[in-house]
Amino acid sequence: MNITVVGTGYVGLVSGVCYAELGNRVVCVDKDAHKIMQLERGEIPIYEPGLKELADANVRRGRLSYTSDLHEAMRLSELVIIAVGTPPLPSGEADMRYIESVAAEIGEALGHYQLIVIKSTVPVGTNEAVRGLIAARTRQPFEMASVPEFLREGSAVQDTLHPDRIVIGADSSRAAHTLQELHRPLTDQLIVTDIRSAEMIKYASNAFLATKISFINEIANICEKVGADVTEVAGGMGLDRRIGAAFLRAGIGYGGSCFPKDTKALIQIAGNVAYDFKLLKSVVEVNHMQRFGVIDKLLRALGHLQGRRVAIWGLAFKPETDDVRDAPAIEIIERLLELGATPVVHDPIAMPNFRRIAADPRIVWCEQPLDAVRGADALCLLTEWSQYLRQDLREVERAMARPILIDGRNAYSAEQLAGAHFAYYPVGRPAMNNEDIALHELI
């Protein structure tokens, strides 16, 4: 198939490359000419394991190309996939500006029948609105469909090539058939439904996963008070197939480009039809509060934070990505600064992005994890990068002024901690080496 993919962000680029990998001829379009030039040089603007290799291979095979000219790209295509961003407006609603301008352009460029698919996460009803925008600018026949994207950052290629399911929202058998054929090599789990339900499946899925995370975080907070271990609790719960083991890792809450944005957008979508989505509002609030648990533990361990040197390992919202959008680390570091502490930070790849949004001169940036902990009064693990888990904790302890470890991701096992003498504060598990040690050290 000849496919035009509009938008070379996460969703667009990964989808384009993967459709090419399936044997289709794909043209990725972006109006950002600089980005297109980068891509043509073989530079991938996002950090995503495996993506560059796959993109290079498909460019070489002549199945993947890049352009900023949508008209040219659409001349030969049979399918146009809209994958532009829908960033949040201050109200939480999705900003539809890019979708609308792409729709207008598609309407103007349409020279023969094409199937237009929306992959961006868009409020229910957007497909129909886009259909109207295109129809107002062309006399050519076209159809609309929705194929929401469920990929995760850091495993985007893997998720796209091996999805749990493909959801196809279509209102004609021709459109449904085309999309079934396109996706059949990926999975047998192809669900064909109406367009509005497909749009809703994306929001409902993300909202549900976010709910699982906030739920287990609240259970973790209670575990801390009653002396239970949330990892044991989650393990026991997860064995019930109706619950499932995934997304029950307690920590400092979710961040990233999807959960924060999509939960708020769904609250807003519900609000627009006079429905108060109370449960999801609480999920968002719990998630926001959860990050400050790190600060509470630091205060418990150190008494106050004025003049303290606090090492931070990990800035990205999760490992294997340089994405810091809505990362809990942002507000944790802001709070540390407010309380007079000096954050000494390290992340394997997210520091340049973090610097762009949090360029406070009081932050100390380190190229090596061990440099960050040298002379530190406490260490906070905020992203569970594997390189942090491989560190020799005895060496870390020796480098620090005070051996206090706040593990925001429950990343360290008892074996890893054995031999080091940390006052260890995980999430929802009994603190080890207990608080007396930390307080005792201060006296």
> Which of 85, 255, 293, 428 is the binder for ligand UDX (CB under 6 A)?
255
Structure tokens at 358: 């949090």
What Rg value do the Cα atoms of the chain yield, rounded?
24
Residue found by looking up tokens 């920590």 in the block: 251
Q: Can you tell me which residue has the tokens 């949040």?
A: 88
The residue among 328 and 403 lying less far from ligand UDX, judged by its C-beta, is: 328
Binding residues for substrate: 150-153, 202, 247-251, 255, 318
Residue 258 falls in the annotated catalytic set: yes
Q: Which residues contribute to the annotated binding site?
A: 30, 35, 86, 121, 150-153, 202, 247-251, 255, 261, 318, 325
**Segment near ligand UDX (CB under 6 A), from 37-45, 150-158, 329-337, 349-357?**
150-158
CA distance 211 to 205: 10
Among 248, 280, 378, 411, binds ligand UDX (CB under 6 A): 248
Give the shortest CB-354-to-ligand UDX separation in angstroms.
15
Q: How far is the CB of 18 from ligand UDX (least distance, A)?
A: 14
Q: Secondary structure of the chain in the HEC alphabet?
A: CEEEEECCCHHHHHHHHHHHHCCCEEEEECCCHHHHHHHHCCCCCCCCCCHHHHHHHHHHCCCEEEECCHHHHHCCCCEEEECCCCCECCCCCECCHHHHHHHHHHHHHCCCCEEEEECCCCCCCHHHHHHHHHHCCCCCCEEEEECCCCCCCCCHHHHHHCCCCEEEEECCHHHHHHHHHHHCCCCCCEEEECHHHHHHHHHHHHHHHHHHHHHHHHHHHHHHHHCCCHHHHHHHHHCCCCCCCCCCCCCCCCCCCCHHHHHHHHHHHHHHCCCCCHHHHHHHHHHHHHCCHHHHHHHHHHCCCCCCEEEEECCCCCCCCCCCCCCHHHHHHHHHHHCCCEEEEECCCCHHHHHHHCCCCCCEECCCHHHHHCCCCEEEECCCCHHHHCCCHHHHHHHCCCCEEEECCCCCCHHHHCCCCCEEECCCCCCECHHHHHHHHHC
Which of 63, 131, 249, 261 touches ligand UDX (CB under 6 A)?
A: 249
End-to-end CA distance of the chain: 72
**Least distance from C-beta 240 to ligand UDX, angstroms?**
16
Nearer to ligand UDX, 63 or 291 (CB): 291
- Tell which one of 7, 85, 107, 251 touches ligand UDX (CB under 6 A): 251
Size of the residue set binding ligand UDX (CB under 6 A): 19
Q: How many CA atoms lie within 13 A of 415 on its CB side?
A: 2
Q: Which is nearer to ligand UDX, 320 or 397 (CB)?
A: 320
- Taking the least distance from each CB to ligand UDX, the nearer of 74 and 213 is 213
Options 12, 163, 256, 314; binder of ligand UDX; rule CB under 6 A: 256
- Span from 166-174, 247-255, 294-302, 397-405 in contact with ligand UDX (CB under 6 A): 247-255
- Separation CA 433–CA 404 (nearest Å): 10
**What is the closest distance, in whole angstroms, from the C-beta atom of residue 302 to ligand UDX in the complex?**
25
Closest by CA position to 131, among listed 197, 205, 196, 181 = 196
Cβ 382 to ligand UDX shortest distance, Å? 10
Q: How far is the CB of 347 from ligand UDX (least distance, A)?
A: 14
Scan residues 210-229 and list those touching ligand UDX (CB under 6 A): 213
Q: Contact with ligand UDX (CB under 6 A): which of 247, 277, 292, 365?
A: 247
Instruction: Choose between 98 and 203: whose C-beta lies nearer to ligand UDX.
Output: 203
Q: Is 426 in the site for ligand UDX (CB under 6 A)?
A: no
Q: Which is nearer to ligand UDX, 258 or 379 (CB)?
A: 258
Catalytic residue among 28, 223, 258, 380: 258
Query: What does the per-residue mask of binding to ligand UDX show for 302-321, with x meaning CB under 6 A?
Result: ---------------xx---
Sites for ligand UDX among residues 335-374 (CB under 6 A)? none
Q: Should residue 150 be labelled a site residue for ligand UDX when binding is judged by CB under 6 A?
A: yes
Nearer to ligand UDX, 79 or 327 (CB): 327
Residue 84: other Cβ atoms inside 10 A: 26
**Single residue of 27, 54, 84, 151 touching ligand UDX by CB under 6 A:** 151
259 near ligand UDX (CB under 6 A)? yes
Residues 130-149 that bind ligand UDX (CB under 6 A): 149
Return residues touching ligand UDX (CB under 6 A): 149-153, 206, 209, 213, 247-249, 251, 254-256, 258-259, 317-318
Residues involved in catalysis: 258
